[in-house]
């Protein structure tokens, strides 16, 4: 067992031992489905923003993956349309309609003084379409009259790079009857990475490449939200976002060969300046019409556009400065999504609920990839099959859900049917195709006592296709051309989740256990393209299973008031038949485990706080026609200390990647194909991220 695996199980044992110190909740401690945190709960804590408040709630899943296993098949697939929005956070019972526009960003800019209470709701919530095992956080504000806001300035130090600055400003208030929230943020995103590749045969090293990757970037983001009553029964909310991130960098390689005595002799150099720009804008909104006490009409709309351009020029020379090779890579990509969704909700006094709706969506991608390669200018183009394509998907989905209660059992039955049509046009492809799916679902939530809850979800899910996989791409790390597949299908799966949640008395914490199993069809993976190449494709079927644990602890009972520990642990495995070897193996790039925790301790007499966060993950495997990769990363650790200065200022010092975590890869190459089992060479990669520190000053007004 590797050290990382041993540490993960030790980490898992700590919360389980500590949880045993707490007594079960009495019947009067909590309500069956909702835990309420009033403003008094946070009075002695070091909070300025609503985000700070949420982090102090034990077991708050706003900081943790809602579905740690990923999408269908656990391969990271996304749900389609507005159901892709994974937020489980509501503001006054309403969610933010958007994808790039995150509720979490809004919480950073909303002052804690505006919060009346925070409600944590266990189980199914219609507004967020959460399943039976989820938790939803509903933030109830005092109203936005009398404008207020938050601000932050920061300095960031990264080893061997210049100091960078960041800032943010948020304002919320009221103009006549309209509530508004505005924000602007500028964030430094530079990085410095050192990479070491060693290629060898039969344990004998042959070649070594030492690479330094430098990136400088600054992301600027503008956000806005307005909610206004149109009448006594009609409201309109509109949200907007604009984001731009120009990024520049350079990759510098020193190339060596090993001599018989394993000393190094330089044989060449490589220099690759690059430039990338990402630009996003988005507008979304919600219109609601309350027909009467029992009936509501809701219309959601979204428009999102994403431009992503990249250019790089690589020059390779020998030790004498003579040109060996030059190449120029261009990638031009424009993606867009438009969604319109209408739903009728009805609710009866008996607790029965019914909703019926229709969602219409259009997704497009216009992408071009070009590569020029040679020894002298002008560089001749490299022929890349399927290097350009315009893709459009028109999709319609009709859905219905019915919820009712049987004593302590809450039941939701759902059905959805979707139809989509693809149009794909490019130099090497011109085709139309249609897809249709039926998606039933069942959710059960049972309150055994006031401190225990049991849940079950069984549903069919369909992942969102990654249009990027339809078109060829160039791997910027290994500098390889990867084929696309215009006939790729989305993964579908039957998903079963069962679990329980146990809450502890005096709000001491919670422990939630979830078991999951997925029966996956059309697994997104790699398939043969010819004798010595591969492309994205679908494997017939596979299975994916695992366990997820979420916990939250308050240490009030141990004499540490203000101390909170939140964390999660996910172990998973899977099986699919490898198309190259015919042997069973795990899904592509699936992590063996994921884990993380955040501990913070607010000390009232110190007027400050300190804390530590940790995250780790298991190995990932990638299987191709002529090679197999094993990747793993070191654990990531952040520590911080903060101090309140006056009533509305907090000074914070945080250190990230403090021991320069490493990312490693072992690649096993097979000259005549992996099915032969004859290994011809190996490439060992060792990559290190440099540490950085951030000093920030946050205030409210």
Centre a 10 Å sphere on the Cβ of residue 440 and count the other Cβ atoms it contains. Answer: 13
- Domain count within the chain: 1
Specify the pLDDT at position 97: 79
Calpha distance 265→263 (Å, rounded): 7
Specify the pLDDT at position 144: 58
Phi/psi at 383 (5° precision): -70, 120
Specify the pLDDT at position 84: 53
Calpha distance 558→408 (Å, rounded): 34
Specify the pLDDT at position 145: 63
Specify the pLDDT at position 243: 96
Which segments of 61-103 are extended strands (E)?
89-91
Is residue 668 within 8 A of residue 682, CB to CB? The reply is: yes
Domain that holds residue 622: 3-700
Calpha distance 557→505 (Å, rounded): 10
Tokens 């642990």 sit on residue: 569
Task: Give which of 187, 209, 189, 206 is closest to 272, Cα–Cα.
Answer: 209
Tokens 């749900």 sit on residue: 79
Specify the pLDDT at position 79: 55
Residue 571 maps to which CATH number? Answer: 2.40.170.20
Specify the pLDDT at position 280: 96
The tokens describing 154, both together, are 């920061």
Calpha distance 362→427 (Å, rounded): 23
DSSP one-letter string for 564-610: EEEEEEEEEEEEEE-TTT--EEPPTT--SEEEEEEEEEEETTTTEEE
Proportion of the chain above pLDDT 70, given as a percent: 90
The tokens describing 74, both together, are 């656990």
Task: Give which of 187, 45, 2, 188 is closest to 561, Cα–Cα.
Answer: 45
Is residue 589 within 8 A of residue 621, CB to CB? The reply is: yes
DSSP one-letter string for 323-335: EEEEEEEEEEEEE
Which segments of 230-352 are extended strands (E)?
234-258, 264-292, 295-318, 323-347
Give me the chain's average pLDDT, please.
Answer: 86
Task: Give which of 650, 489, 518, 509 is closest to 587, Cα–Cα.
Answer: 518
Q: Tell me the Ramachandran region of residue 92: left when phi exceeds 0, alpha when psi lies from -120 to 50, beta otherwise.
A: left
Question: Low-confidence residues of the chain, pLDDT below 50?
Answer: 1-32, 62-77, 85
Specify the pLDDT at position 5: 42
Calpha distance 311→476 (Å, rounded): 11
Q: What are the counts of helices (DSSP H) followed by strands (DSSP E) for the chain?
A: 3, 34
Please report which residue ranges of 465-608 form alpha helices under DSSP H: none
Task: Give which of 415, 405, 503 is closest to 446, Cα–Cα.
Answer: 405
The tokens describing 28, both together, are 């009067």
């Amino acid at each position: 067992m590797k050290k990382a695996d041993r540490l993960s199980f030790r980490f898992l044992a700590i919360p389980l031992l500590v949880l045993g110190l707490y007594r079960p909740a009495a019947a009067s401690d909590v309500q069956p489905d909702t835990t309420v945190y009033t403003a008094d709960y946070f009075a002695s804590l070091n909070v300025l923003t609503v985000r700070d408040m949420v982090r102090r709630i034990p077991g708050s899943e706003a900081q943790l993956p809602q579905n740690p296993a990923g999408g269908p098949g656990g391969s990271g697939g996304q749900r389609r349309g507005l159901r892709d929005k994974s937020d489980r956070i509501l503001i006054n019972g309403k969610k933010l309609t958007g994808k790039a526009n995150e509720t979490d960003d809004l919480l950073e800019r909303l002052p804690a003084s505006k919060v009346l209470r925070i409600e944590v709701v266990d189980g199914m919530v219609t507004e967020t379409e959460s399943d039976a095992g989820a938790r939803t956080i509903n933030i109830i504000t005092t109203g936005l009259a009398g404008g207020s806001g938050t601000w932050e300035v920061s300095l960031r130090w990264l080893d061997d790079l210049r100091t960078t600055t960041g800032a943010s400003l948020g304002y919320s208030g009221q103009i006549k009857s309209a509530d508004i929230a505005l924000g602007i943020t500028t964030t430094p995103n530079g990085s410095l990475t050192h990479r070491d590749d060693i290629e060898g045969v039969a344990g004998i090293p042959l070649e070594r490449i030492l690479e330094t990757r430098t990136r400088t970037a600054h992301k600027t983001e503008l956000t806005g939200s307005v909610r206004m009553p149109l009448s006594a029964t009609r409201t309109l909310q509109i949200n907007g976002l604009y984001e731009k991130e120009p990024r520049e960098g350079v990759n510098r390689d020193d190339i060596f060969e090993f001599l018989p005595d394993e000393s190094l002799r330089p044989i060449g150099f490589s220099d690759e300046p690059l430039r990338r720009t990402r630009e996003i804008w988005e507008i979304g909104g919600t219109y609601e019409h309350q027909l009467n006490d029992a009936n509501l009409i809701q219309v959601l709309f979204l428009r999102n556009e994403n431009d992503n351009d990249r250019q790089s020029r690589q020059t390779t020379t020998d030790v004498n400065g003579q040109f060996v090779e030059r190449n120029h890579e261009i990638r031009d990509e424009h993606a867009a999504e438009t969604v319109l969704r209408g739903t009728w909700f009805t609710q009866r006094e008996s607790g029965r609920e019914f909703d019926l709706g229709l969602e219409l969506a259009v997704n497009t991608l216009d992408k071009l990839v070009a590569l020029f390669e040679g020894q002298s200018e002008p560089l001749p183009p490299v022929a890349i099959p399927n290097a350009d394509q315009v893709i459009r998907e028109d999709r319609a989905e009709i859905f219905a859900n019915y919820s009712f209660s049987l004593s302590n059992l809450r039941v939701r039955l759902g059905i959805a049917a979707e139809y989509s049509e693809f149009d794909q046009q490019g130099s090497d492809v011109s085709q139309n195709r249609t897809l249709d799916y039926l998606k039933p679902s069942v959710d059960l939530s049972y309150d055994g006592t006031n401190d225990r809850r049991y849940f079950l979800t069984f549903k069919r899910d369909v992942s969102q296709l990654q249009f990027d996989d339809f078109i060829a791409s160039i791997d910027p790390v290994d500098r390889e051309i990867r084929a696309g597949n215009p006939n790729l299908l989305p993964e579908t799966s039957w998903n079963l989740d069962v679990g329980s949640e146990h809450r502890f008395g005096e709000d001491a914490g919670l422990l939630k256990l979830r078991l999951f199993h997925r029966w996956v069809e059309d697994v997104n993976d790699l398939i043969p393209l010819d004798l010595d190449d591969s492309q994205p494709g679908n494997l017939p079927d596979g299975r994916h299973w695992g366990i997820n644990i979420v916990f939250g602890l308050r240490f009030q009972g141990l004499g540490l008031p203000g101390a909170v520990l939140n964390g999660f642990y996910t172990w998973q495995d899977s099986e699919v038949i490898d198309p190259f070897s015919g042997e069973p193996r795990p899904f592509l790039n699936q992590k063996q485990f994921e884990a993380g925790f955040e501990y913070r301790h607010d000390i009232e007499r110190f007027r400050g706080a300190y804390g530590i966060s940790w995250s780790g993950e298991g190995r990932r495997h990638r299987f191709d026609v002529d090679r197999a990769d094993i990747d793993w990363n070191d654990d990531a650790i952040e520590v911080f200390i903060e101090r309140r200065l006056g009533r509305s200022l907090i000074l914070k010092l945080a250190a990230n990647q403090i021991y320069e975590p490493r990312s490693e890869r072992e690649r096993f190459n097979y000259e005549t194909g992996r099915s032969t089992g004859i290994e011809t060479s190996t490439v060992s990669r060792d990559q290190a991220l440099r540490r950085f520190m951030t000093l920030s000053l946050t205030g409210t007004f």
